[in-house]
Structure 1
Amino acid sequence: MIRMNVRRGRVRSTLLAAALLGSAAPALLPASQAAAVPLGRVCLFQDQQGANGAGHVAWSIRDPKNSRHWIWGATESINNATKIDAGRPNGSWIQGGTWTQMRGEARGKKPIDLHTYDYYRCINTAGGNLAAAQKTYEHIKGNGYALLNNNCLTKALEIFRSYSPALTSARLPSGQFKSPNYYFTTSLNKARGWEKARVY
């Protein structure tokens, strides 16, 4: 009985405060609506042995309007080339489907191969723009390849930034002149908001 009176008193106080503040008070969303706010997510996948031990990465982004749908891909240099001119195929590819399809547990899609990649780590975003990310992919698949500054890592980061402008340098540091393994462990350990690496 005391708890109910206290609760009623708190509700009255909250309503009174809201009435006094008028439109200056922010509207609170019911829990059901708050849970429905679109949520984006990006993940980076690490192949520790790739590029002769410097590492290799693949990427994925989640559709904020459909949490079951993902887009994923990678840039895999052709014939271990360290430089590919713009306009030539640079080994970039893209797929879309479920997380299970991305892992290759369901057929029909080119996966981020469980036998190749060792770890992954993700970060949530307030939303995401799949169309912008796909447009960036179309650009990067034709802009060549350079081992140190236009590679699997820098291309993945470009896609992430176009998907969510909230991924500023504090959350998504530059990958220029960094090996994928160094970036995946050291750079992302220092960045804000990234989850710890998980075994893939």
Structure 2
Amino acid sequence: MIRTKVRFSRLGSALLAASLLGATAPAVLPAGQADAAATGRVCFFKDTEGANGAGHVAWAIRDPKNTRHWIWGATENIEGDSYTAPGKNNGSWIQGGDWDDLRKSLKPDPGHKKFLYDAYRCINTAGGDLAAAQRTFRAMRANGYQVAYNNCLTKSIAIFRKYSPALSTVYLPNGGATLPKSYFGKVLDHARGWEKAHQYTPRRGER
């Protein structure tokens, strides 16, 4: 898989967020809230060495109706160029399964290697629309690729926002013209509700 080089020049009330977005919008829950209250969850996975050092991210979301089940994926820019026309293969893929299946797919990085993931960070939501997220994935798969504004990061953000409309820009800032590794770090550090990064180290026997 090819990841193109990218070149780019406190916590609020969950109830308020939900009320502003409508009664049906699932609220974002603060980090540290009891897991029993959080049926929805979204996560970024970061490959620091991806895209020749610009970083690459994959996305994952939990099924709020079956919290053992996840779906996840990424856009890999299979052509390796700064632009892929809509309708052409932009390297988007999706899988589903439990957390162990996810780990086997998004392989952890035991040392500084490309195409492996160094860390992940997540935010809980009070629910989520898995079908809406899957529809958005299909739209992102079909709408091409552009290195600054239609890439692995911006497509992940679009999927997350459809899954949980409460993930407004306060919780999930826009990612255009932003290095994926910077977004994962500095940008999410200043956004509301995100857990600190979990180092994504291999389990015993996992390479």
Query: Which TM-score band (shorter chain)?
Result: 0.7 to 0.9
Shift of 1:80: 1.7
User: Which structure features the higher share of helix residues?
Assistant: 1
Say whether 1:112 aligns with 2:110: no
Secondary structure at the counterpart of residue 106 of structure 2? coil
Give the TM-score taking structure 1 as reference length: 0.78
Shift of 1:36: 5.9
User: CA–CA distance in 1 between the matches of 2:196 and 2:92?
Assistant: 27
* Equivalent AA in structure 2 for residue 183 of structure 1: Y
Root mean square deviation of aligned Cα: 1.4
- Structure 2 runs not aligned, ≥5 long: 1-33, 110-115, 201-207
- Aligned residue pairs total 161
* Equivalent AA in structure 1 for residue 182 of structure 2: Y
In structure 2, the residue matched to 1:65 is 65
User: CA–CA distance in 2 between the matches of 1:140 and 1:52?
Assistant: 23
Alpha-carbon contact 2:118-2:199 (below 8 Å) kept:
yes
Secondary structure at the counterpart of residue 46 of structure 1? strand
Shift of 1:79: 3.5
Alpha-carbon contact 2:84-2:145 (below 8 Å) kept:
yes
Give the TM-score taking structure 2 as reference length: 0.75
Flag the structure with larger Rg.
1
Alpha-carbon contact 2:46-2:184 (below 8 Å) kept:
yes
Aligned 1:40-51 pairs, distance under 5 A: 40-51=40-51
User: CA–CA distance in 1 between the matches of 2:79 and 2:35?
Assistant: 47
**Sequence identity (%):** 58
Alpha-carbon contact 1:89-1:144 (below 8 Å) kept:
yes
- Structure 1 runs not aligned, ≥5 long: 1-33, 105-110
* Equivalent AA in structure 2 for residue 112 of structure 1: L
* Equivalent AA in structure 2 for residue 114 of structure 1: P
Aligned 1:91-106 pairs, distance under 5 A: 91-104=91-104
Alpha-carbon contact 2:45-2:59 (below 8 Å) kept:
yes
User: CA–CA distance in 1 between the matches of 2:131 and 2:157?
Assistant: 16
